[in-house]
Amino acid sequence: MKALPGEKLTDEQRALIDKVAQRIVRWRAAVPAIFTLESMKPLSFVGSQFLYALAPFAQVIFDPTEYESFVLAMEDRGNVEYFLRRIEDIDAEARDEEKAARKKAKQERKRRREERRARRQASRDERSQASEDRAIAKESD
């Protein structure tokens, strides 16, 4: 029986992959990351070795133990697939949240616009009423 993607990961590695996936989505780099990972999936072991070569530079930016754990996880093609799925899931959630926020902002703009229209109409009605009152007062004189 074939192992499911991410089945061999430890909880620490899953949390780390989620953290990296969230950063990728936050930087709005989900599409390039997915494209790169999909194209490199058959070479996942070679890619992880490349990450080892980058370790001296990457460890300046990232926590060395987390980086090591991430590189170990990326050696397995199934874990790369899990990483891809997490990026896709988090990106979909972020797009849904963004869409809901845009919809809410649109509704808020519409509500404010309607309030302004109602205030303007009330102001016009008041001026019209005042004008009518003056006309009636003039006729009475």
Alpha-carbon span 81 to 35, nearest angstrom: 12
pLDDT at 3: 59
Domain annotation covers residue 112: no
Decide: 85 and 77 in contact? Cβ < 8 Å.
Answer: no
Domain annotation covers residue 46: yes
Total domains, the chain: 1
Domain annotation covers residue 2: no
Which tens digits make up the pLDDT trace of 24-77? 999 999 999 999 999 988 888 888 889 889 999 998 988 999 999 999 999 888
Domain annotation covers residue 59: yes
Domain annotation covers residue 43: yes
Question: Is residue 1 very low, low, confident or very high in pLDDT (cuts 50, 70, 90)?
Answer: very low
Pair of tokens at residue 120? 């303007």
Decide: 52 and 72 in contact? Cβ < 8 Å.
Answer: no
Domain annotation covers residue 84: yes
Domain annotation covers residue 26: yes
The domain in which residue 50 lies consists of 11-105
Whole-prediction pTM: 0.76
Which tens digits make up the pLDDT trace of 93-110? 999 999 999 999 999 999
Domain annotation covers residue 52: yes
